[in-house]
Structure 1
Amino acid sequence: MAFSVSVLDLVSRRPEESAASAIARSVDLARHVEQWGYRRYWLAEHHSIDGLACSATSVLIGHVAGATHTIRVGSGGVMLPNHAPLVVAEQFGTLEALYPGRIDLGLGRAPGGDMQTMRALRRDLRQSGDEFPELLRELRTYLGPEQPGQVVKAYPGQNSHVPVTLLGSSDYSARLAANLGLPFAFAAHFAPDMLEHSAYLYRSQFQPSEGLQRPWLMIGVPVMVAETDPAARRLFTTPQQRFLRLIRNQPVELLPPVDSFNGIWNEWEKITVENKLRAALVGSEATVEEGLRRLIRATEADEVIAVTDTWDHADRLESYQRLAAVASRIAAPGSAELARAR
Structure 2
Amino acid sequence: MDIQNIPISVLDLAPVVEGATARDALRNTLDLARHAERLGFHRFWLAEHHNMPGIASSATSVLIGYVAGGTSKIRVGSGGIMLPNHSPLVIAEQFGTLESLYPGRIDLGIGRAPGSDPLTAAALRRGPGSDGQDFPERLEELRTYFDPSRAEYSPRVRAYPGEGLHIPIWLLGSSDFSARLAAKLGLPFAFASHFAPDFVIPALELYRSSFQPSAELAEPRTMIGVNVFAADTEQEASRLATSQIQQFLNLIRGRTGKLQPPVDDIESLWTPHEKAIVSKQLAFTVVGDKASVKDKLQYILDLTKADEIIVSSSIYDHEARLRSYEILAEAVGMI
TM range (shorter): over 0.9
- 1:73 and 2:93 matched: no
1:304 has 2:309 as partner:
yes
Q: Superposition pairs for residues 182-201 of structure 1, below 5 Å?
A: 182-201=187-206
SS of corresponding position for 1:227: coil
What corresponds to 1:235 in structure 2? 240
Give the one of 82, 97, 100 matched to 1:97: 100
Q: Which residue of 1 aligns with 2:31?
A: 28
Contact 1:234 1:258 in 2 (8 A): yes
CA contact (8 A) 1:180 1:207 kept: yes
TM-score normalised by the chain length of structure 1:
0.93
The Cα offsets for residues 110-156 of structure 1, whole Å up to 9 and x where unpaired, read as 01111110111011332222211100000000012455422110000
Partner of 2:224: 219
- Amino acid paired to 2:96: G
Deviation at 1:91, TM superposition (A): 0.3
Q: CA deviation at 1:298?
A: 1.3
Which SS does the other structure have where 1:220 is aligned? strand
What is the CA distance between 1:228 and its match in structure 2?
2.1
- Alignment match, 1:278: 283
Alignment partner of 2:268: what SS?
coil
> In structure 1, what residue type is equivalent to 2:275?
K
Pairwise mapping of residues 151-162 of structure 1 onto structure 2 (< 5 A)? 151-162=156-167
**Alignment-derived partner of residue 170 in structure 2:** 165
Cα distance in 1 for residues equivalent to 2:257 and 2:75: 28
SS at match of 2:292: helix
Specify the alignment match of 1:337 in structure 2. none
3-state SS, counterpart of residue 108 of structure 2: strand
Show CA shifts across 1:301-333 (max 9, x none). Answer: 01111000211111111111111122227xxxx
1:318 equivalent to 2:306? Answer: no
Contact 2:148 2:154 in 1 (8 A): no
| The one of 134, 137, 143 aligned to 1:134 | 137
Q: Tell me the CA shift for residue 295 of structure 1.
A: 1.2
**Counterpart residue identity of residue 14, structure 1:** V
What are the residue-to-residue correspondences of 1:108-119 with 2, within 5 Å?
108-119=111-122
In structure 2, distance between residues paired with 1:295 and 1:125: 40
CA drift at 1:255: 1.3
SS in structure 2 opposite 1:263?
Answer: helix
Q: Hey, what does 1:204 align to over in structure 2?
A: 209
2:260 to 247, 255, 259: 255
Matching residue of 1:334:
none
**1:336 counterpart residue number:** none
**Is the CA contact 1:243–1:252 (under 8 Å) kept in the aligned structure 2?**
no
CA deviation string 1:219-275 (max 9, x = no partner): 011111112222211111111111111112223312111111233111221111111
Tell me the number of residue pairs that the alignment of Structure 1 and Structure 2 aligns: 330
Structure 2 residue matching 1:306: 3-state secondary structure: strand
SS, match of residue 332 in structure 2: helix
Instruction: Quote how far apart the aligned CAs of 1:200 are.
Output: 0.9
Kept in 2, the 8 Å contact 1:169–1:194? The answer is yes
Ranges of 4+ aligned residues in structure 1 off by more than 6 Å: none
Determine if contact 1:246/1:252 at 8 Å carries over to the other structure: no
Q: Secondary structure at the match of 2:134?
A: helix
Amino acid at match of 1:97: S
